[in-house]
Amino acid sequence: MRTKRITPEERERAFKSLRKPDVEEKQRLHVRYHVEDFDVNDRPRRFLEAFAAILKHSNYRMALEHFIRMSAKCSRCAVSCQVYQATGDLKDIPCYRSELLLSVYRRHFTYGGMLKGRLLGDPGLTDEKIQEMAESFWNCTACRRCSIDCPSGIDHGLITHLGRYILSEIGIAPRALVVSTREQLEGATGNTSAIPVPALTDTLEFLEEDMLEEKQVEIKFPIDVEGSEYVFFPAVSDFLMEAETLMGIAAVFTATGDSWTTGTGYFDGINYGLFYSDRMLERIVKKIDAETRRLKGKKVLIGECGHASRSAKYFLPTYCGGKDAYPVINIMEYTYEVFKNGRLKLDPNIVTEKVAYHDPCNIARQGWIIDKPREILKAFCKNYVEMTPSGSNNICCGGGGGTVSIDEIRPYRTTIGGKLKADQIRRSGCHYLVAPCANCKKQLRELVEDQKIPVEVVGLHDLIYKAIIFDDSLKVKKIPAEAGTGEEGK
């Protein structure tokens, strides 16, 4: 699937910077995302020191040694990069972007590079190169679709992540991500949306009352229940923006009767460390582990969120006990299992509109969850349509890699990053676009709004909530108003 190149007018709008010129001058950094003030002196030296420290305390060197021996210039990846398709700019080819960092590694961290540099008088890393990396690495959605077409096995997404990590160590990282992560790790609320516990409990009580009125069933959000099978960590923004998704999840657990709980000690599945810093990634993952231990839970359950699921599934074992780490499952895996076992019943006559499914990159690219949500949807959505390509070859929403949280680059995300996705959505003609990921939902809603596509973006459990069938034994029996008043028969 291809998309047309953007026009010069679209390019100007997409790359327009909202930063004040005096701030750019002060920070000596011309990027489109806001950055907190940092030390601007001797950046090349500090970049190389951070790079060296990361190499010393991680396994990145092994991967980089492999990558520099391969050709990172063939540009086969260009055919699968939706950013390059939209801009046609050679600097947006994944190979080019990766070479920015690989050339620094080759020059400063290999014997051949250091010797060549001395013989030829190459000064090495410059401020201008750092500037280019700071701009380029945040133009990438880190969707990793390019890895499918790379004949050399180069993981451009990994290189982009490493480049962002090094930059963040010298103070160059999007302020939106840094501030949210700081609140999550050091703030009073301990979560990225700064939701205090009383607000959380009030919200859940309100949703319970809403569901009782709509479904005539007492659907609960258990809180701080020790010994539950599942300890639940949604993207915390769901408590503010995705009520229907949460209600659908609570409804499924009410129908099955399985034990689950949300903890008041920590209830945020978001992990922006996955996008810019391994140090933050580790600290956030350990908060999930600590809360699960506090509640004596048995499994970690992640809500509808791609990056939250990936960061927990792959990095809880890394940082929290290896084989003894808590099992991590995504809510769609749970819902699929109870549906296949006949413990969840859905009415096929409720959702009659055309429905399509969007694969979040963080759970589909590696082939983790692809068919399960589709089987559920096809079972109760009569008018399901498939978008192609899909599955592990899916097209990114355009806000991947944490870029969706950077509001100041929205024009870039909806004009360039998500252009190919917008074409795909239009072609499907769907009414409901199911996106089981908090980040994808935000990006896709902004995308269809800016691109003027008449589509409603929802979560999988939003539709399940509409169609769920409860056992009659769960229905609350209405008591006649006169009952017990002694007025009957008067």
Task: Band the pLDDT of 479: cuts 50, 70, 90.
Answer: low
Task: Quote the pLDDT of residue 482.
Answer: 57
Model pTM? 0.94
Residue 408: is it exposed, middle or buried by C-beta count within 10 angstroms (0-12/13-18/19+)? middle
Phi then psi for residue 392, to 5 deg, are -70, -15
Q: What percent of the chain has pLDDT over 70?
A: 97
Q: What angle do CA 173, 176, 180 make, to 5 degrees?
A: 105
Average pLDDT estimate for 28-52: 96
Q: Hey, which of 15-19, 72-76, 415-419 has the most confident mean pLDDT?
A: 415-419
According to DSSP, residue 416 is labeled I
**pLDDT at residue 489 greater than cutoff 70:** no
Tokens describing residue 11:
């390019």
Task: Quote the pLDDT of residue 477.
Answer: 76
Task: Band the pLDDT of 227: cuts 50, 70, 90.
Answer: very high
Task: Band the pLDDT of 480: cuts 50, 70, 90.
Answer: low
CA distance 410 to 127: 27
Tens of pLDDT, residue by residue over 165-179, are 999 999 999 999 999
Task: Band the pLDDT of 329: cuts 50, 70, 90.
Answer: very high
Asked if 94 contacts 146 with a C-beta cutoff of 8 angstroms, the reply is: yes
**pLDDT at residue 1 greater than cutoff 70:** yes
**pLDDT at residue 114 greater than cutoff 50:** yes
Average pLDDT estimate for 412-422: 97
Please give the sequence-ordered ranges of beta strands (E in DSSP) within 244-395, or none if there are none.
Answer: 260-261, 299-302, 328-330, 345-346, 355-357, 384-385
Task: Band the pLDDT of 213: cuts 50, 70, 90.
Answer: very high
Task: Quote the pLDDT of residue 488.
Answer: 41
Task: Quote the pLDDT of residue 28.
Answer: 93
Residues 6+ apart with CB under 8 A from 65: none
Q: Which residue has the tokens 């500090």?
A: 46
Three-class secondary structure of residue 131 per DSSP: helix
Task: Quote the pLDDT of residue 486.
Answer: 45
Task: Band the pLDDT of 76: cuts 50, 70, 90.
Answer: confident
**pLDDT at residue 249 greater than cutoff 90:** yes
Task: Quote the pLDDT of residue 378.
Answer: 98
Q: What percent of the chain has pLDDT over 90?
A: 93
Tens of pLDDT, residue by residue over 340-359, are 999 999 999 999 999 999 99
Task: Output the average pLDDT for the chain.
Answer: 95
Task: Band the pLDDT of 481: cuts 50, 70, 90.
Answer: low
CA distance 233 to 311: 12
Q: Which among 349, 340, 203, 358 is positioned nearest to 267, based on CA atoms?
A: 203
Q: Kindly calculate the radius of gyration of the chain based on its CA atoms and give it in whole angstroms.
A: 24
